[in-house]
């Protein structure tokens, strides 16, 4: 599950620092151009670059990526903290030192850029973050410039409003003067009669004031009608006011926050630790923030122990071959959930047959033993059997052995008749059907 990538304003990149793992660097996904567009600084550890052995890949990295990448080593205290956190989540056994250094480096930059680890978690499964954002005592120069710009915009809006008020008064005064002249022309006799009484002459301006207020009332009714019809009309006198309103409306949109540090990796164990620490994790496909990941673990059906070592065939606690592969999800809030099948029933096929007696103690080897076809011989039922240890060694050397195609003595298996079963895992138990047809070489 990925969230939309943060969008920054013009001239400001949405991410300040991106910490790169070996996987995205080797695969060139995302490409260098995309990283430079999204981030201000690209950072990695020297050990990650030393892992790359392919000559073509090293040449590409040295020419295209290294000029823009900063190499940095994390602090020992951060490395110890990340190692302890990974041990608590159960991922320490599958994480290398280079993986821990990448997470520790992101932890260092997070504390530097945000003034501490207040937005991270110290323990797996912790509810909420460590604390609240620190109060900024002194504003940064960029913030001071933004405040100055906001103050200048507010001053301009006030000036424009004053100009609009003066303009509306000027437009309303001619109508009042016209009404006053009309009353003066219609009632000359009243003025002549009122001149003989000085007290009434004092009262006359009140009538004029009442007459002057009537056009304003009429205009107010008209404005209400205009507003009810669809808003105020744009005229040369109020066009500046509308422009300022539009600018304010655009300025009131919430500004996008710049992500201080993020990690790009394709390792599921690293992603699990990163999300539980509440560090920012980005997808290497579309540069969006990952808020939930899905992975698989092994869960014992007998004692309910969970392990993230997918190579295990026996439970580390009870020693039974009852490990099931189950899916699990890790969310950005640090919650870890295991998804189990509803009403799951354990399959007992192959377990209801009694184990036959082996033929190792038969007299002079006359009895083969081990049941029909010798299916009971060398059964692996526990992790401490010598048969299991020997089978693991054979599997290791078989996987490690590499055939040189240019060797004169090498002969493909299709010509030599060599056959090998697929999968390569050691067979535990007799299987689900002990009477199944055996594969012949």
Taking residue 237's Cβ as centre, other Cβ atoms within 10 Å add up to 14
Question: How many Å apart are CA 254 and CA 257, to the nearest integer?
Answer: 9
Residue 328 annotated as binding site: no
Question: How many Å apart are CA 22 and CA 51, to the nearest integer?
Answer: 8
CB 358, CB 369: distance < 8 Å:
yes
Spatial neighbors of 275 by CB under 8 A, at least 6 apart, are: 281, 290, 291, 292, 293, 330, 331, 332, 334
- Torsion sign, CA atoms 428, 432, 433, 439: negative
Residue 47, H or E segment: helix 46-50
Which ranges of 51-197 would DSSP assign to H, the alpha helix?
55-60, 76-89, 97-114, 141-186, 188-194
Residue 318 annotated as binding site: yes
Taking residue 277's Cβ as centre, other Cβ atoms within 10 Å add up to 25
DSSP 116-128: SSTTS-SSTT-SS
Binding residues for Zn(2+): 300, 303, 315, 318
């Amino acid at each position: 599950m990925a969230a939309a990538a943060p969008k920054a304003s013009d001239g400001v990149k949405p991410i300040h620092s991106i910490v790169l793992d070996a996987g995205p660097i080797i695969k060139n996904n995302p490409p260098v151009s995309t990283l430079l567009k999204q981030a201000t600084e690209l950072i990695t550890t020297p050990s990650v670059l030393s892992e790359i052995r392919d000559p073509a890949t090293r040449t590409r990295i040295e020419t295209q990526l290294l000029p823009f990448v900063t190499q940095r080593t994390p602090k020992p205290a951060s490395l110890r903290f990340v190692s302890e956190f990974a041990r608590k989540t159960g991922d320490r056994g599958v994480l290398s030192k280079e993986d821990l250094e990448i997470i520790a480096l992101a932890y260092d930059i997070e504390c530097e850029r945000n003034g501490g680890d207040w937005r991270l978690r110290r323990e797996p499964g912790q509810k909420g973050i460590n604390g609240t954002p620190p109060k900024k005592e002194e504003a940064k120069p960029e913030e001071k410039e933004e405040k100055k710009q906001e103050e200048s915009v507010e001053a301009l809006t006030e000036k424009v409003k004053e100009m609009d008020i003066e303009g509306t008064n000027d437009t309303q005064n001619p109508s009042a003067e016209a009404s006053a002249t009309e009353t003066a022309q219609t009632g000359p006799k009243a003025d002549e009669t009122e001149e003989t009484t000085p007290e009434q002459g004092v009262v006359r301006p009140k009538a004029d004031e009442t007459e002057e207020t009537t056009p304003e009332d009429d205009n107010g009714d008209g404005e209400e009608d205009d507003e009810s019809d669809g808003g105020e009309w744009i005229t040369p006198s109020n066009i500046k006011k509308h422009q300022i309103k539009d600018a304010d409306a655009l300025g009131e949109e919430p500004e996008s926050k710049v992500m201080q540090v993020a990690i790009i990796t394709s390792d599921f164990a690293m992603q699990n630790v990163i999300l539980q620490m509440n560090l920012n994790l980005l997808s290497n496909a579309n540069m969006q923030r990952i808020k939930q990941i899905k992975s698989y673990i092994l869960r014992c059906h007998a004692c309910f122990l969970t392990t993230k070592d997918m190579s295990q065939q026996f439970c580390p606690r009870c020693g039974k071959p009852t490990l099931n592969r189950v899916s699990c999800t890790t969310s950005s809030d640090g919650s870890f959930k295991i998804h189990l099948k509803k009403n799951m029933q354990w399959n007992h096929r192959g377990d209801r047959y009694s184990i036959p007696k082996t033929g190792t103690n038969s007299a002079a080897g006359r009895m083969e033993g081990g049941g029909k076809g010798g299916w009971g011989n060398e059964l692996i039922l526990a992790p401490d059997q010598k048969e299991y240890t020997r089978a693991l060694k054979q599997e290791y050397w078989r996987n490690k052995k590499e055939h040189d195609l240019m060797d004169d003595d090498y002969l493909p298996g299709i010509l030599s008749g060599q056959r090998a079963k697929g999968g390569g895992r050691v067979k535990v138990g007799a299987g689900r059907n002990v009477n199944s047809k055996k594969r012949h070489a």
